[in-house]
Amino acid sequence: MKKERYTALQREELNLLFEFYLRKLQRVDGHWFLEVERRYGTKVAAQINSEVWAKVGQGDARMAKKMFDIEGSGLTALIKALQKTFIAFADWEIEWLSKQHAVFRVTTCYPQRARAEKGLGPYDCSETAQKFFSSYAKTIDPRIEVKCQFCPPERRSKDYWCEWHFMVVKDK
């Protein structure tokens, strides 16, 4: 889309366009995965998905830093970038345990919810999410380590789909 086409839009139209593209991104990701899963099985689909999302994480972090003028490093920069870019696939919350340790919890996971609505079991997204979050975090700051506390198909809380710990490791 040429820039002139969307700069002339009113705020309400921009919000609708934004929502349209978020939903489109969700649909493309979902249909892509389901088709690969149907043709080649869950194991192969998950492997491909993990590699794709590792690259997406790195690219998203770079683009977020540039587009949203995010400077610096550490968890503050990481969380600012995630707040701007990680809205298409989940609703989430952040808990700061310290300046060097933040907990990221997903309260609504749209891909897992869509699978449930289709009568499919939960997708074990731990490897894919680990690769995405690790590549995203390391692009922001190589000292950031990412640890999964729990992730589907395991679910330890009725309120959260998954929980991730972001920690700045000083030795890096």
CATH class of segment(s) 50-168: alpha beta
Residue ranges of the alpha helices (H) in 68-155?
74-85, 110-117, 126-140
pLDDT in tens, 56-90: 999 999 999 999 999 999 999 999 999 888 766 78
Sequence-ordered alpha helix ranges (H) in 41-73:
42-67
Return the domain boundaries, the chain: 50-168
Task: Give the global pTM.
Answer: 0.87
- The whole-number average pLDDT for the span 41-46 is 93
Report the alpha-carbon distance of residue 104 to residue 149 in Å, rounded: 10
Q: Which of 19, 160, 167 is CA-nearest to residue 92? A: 160
pLDDT at 172 over 60: no
Integer Cα distance of 161 and 151 in angstroms: 6
